[in-house]
Amino acid sequence: MRREYAGALIEGDLAATWSIQFGRWLGDAIAADLPEPNAMVLATADGQGRPGARTVLLKGYDEQGFVFYTNYDSRKGRELAANPHASAVFAWLPLQRQVRIDGVAAPVSRAETAEYFRVRPRGAQVGAWASPQSAVIGSRSELEAAVTATENRFAGTDDLPAPPNWGGYRLVPEAVEFWQGRESRLHDRLILCHLEWFADEGRPDLHAARDLTDLGLDELDSLTGHRAPLEAEHAALWVSRELHPAPDHRRVHGSAAEERV
C-alpha cells in the first residue's frame, strides 16, 4: 500500500517552541474534525524495561509538558513509579502527521488534580472512585455494584473529591518530534530536544560540542543511528540547549533516516 503525502513542515515554518508548534497541529487536527484529536498512545516500561502502551487523553499542555489523568494504581501508574521515562505519540493520520514525545512523567500537584476533577462530569467522578483500573475483576456486575455503592456513599455530596489514588501526570518532554508526510517518501521530521538528550542517543562527547552545525552528514547519521536511505527520507534535526522556551535552535543538517512503510 503506497500513497503520496502532500503536506510540508520546513524549518522556516517551525514555531519558536515545541508547545506553540504542537498547539498549531492540535488546532489543525481539531479543525479537521478528526476523531479524538487529543488521544495519544502512551508507552511506559516497568523496572525491567518491559514496555506497555495504551491510549490516554491529553487534558492540558503548556511549556512544562503534556498532562493526562489516570488511576495511580493502574499498570501505567505502577510502571511510572518504577520508571518515570515515558513516550507518547499523537497519530493524526488523515493529516499525515505524527508527534512523538520522549520524556519523564511526574504526578501533578493535588491542587491541579482537584481543579480538573471538579469539572469532570459526575459519572466520570463516580467512575474514578469505583473502578480499580488495571485490576482483574470478577464480572461487569461487580463494577456496576461498586458504582452504585459509590453513588450511595456520595449521595448528599455535590462536589466529589478526587480519589487519593487518581490524578494527573505531566509528561515533561526531553524531545518532541514533528513528522509530516511528504511526496516520494521525502518526509519532514523536525525534532526539538535537549542537547543532552541528543547526545545520549549515541554520542556523549557531543556534550562538549557546542556547535553541531559543522557535523557532516555521515557523522550525523552515526550520531542519530539513522542510515542513509534506500528510500529517501528527509529529516531535519533541530537541537536546542533548552527545550523551554527553546531559545536557540540550531539547524544541524538534513539527515537521512531509513524508513519503510
125 binds ligand FMN (CB under 6 A): no
Beta carbons within 10 angstroms of residue 191's beta carbon: 22
Smallest gap from residue 71 Cβ to ligand FMN (A) = 6
* 70 makes contact with ligand FMN (CB under 6 A): yes
Piece in contact with ligand FMN (CB under 6 A), picked from 17-25, 47-55, 155-163, 203-211: 47-55
Instruction: Report whether 252 contacts 237 (CB < 8 A).
Output: yes
Candidates 4, 13, 36, 142: give the one binding ligand FMN (CB under 6 A). 36
DSSP 95: G
Q: Taking CB under 6 A as the rule, which mask of x and - marks residues 128-147 in contact with ligand FMN? A: -----xx-------------
In the complex with ligand FMN, which residue's Cβ is closer, 36 or 159?
36
Task: Out of 76, 100, 170, 185, point to the residue binding ligand FMN (CB under 6 A).
Answer: 76
Strand partners, 44: 52
32 secondary structure, DSSP code: T
Position 170 contacts ligand FMN (CB under 6 A): no
Q: Which residue in 17, 74, 87, 224 binds ligand FMN (CB under 6 A)? A: 74
Between the CA of residue 62 and those of 17, 21, 23, 55, what are the distances in Å? 10, 11, 9, 20
116-154 burial string, b = 16+ CB within 10 Å, else e? bbeebeeeebbbbbbbebeeeeeeeeeeeebeeebeeeb
Residues annotated as part of the active site: 185
Binding site for ligand FMN (CB under 6 A): 36, 39, 52, 54-57, 68-70, 74-76, 133-134
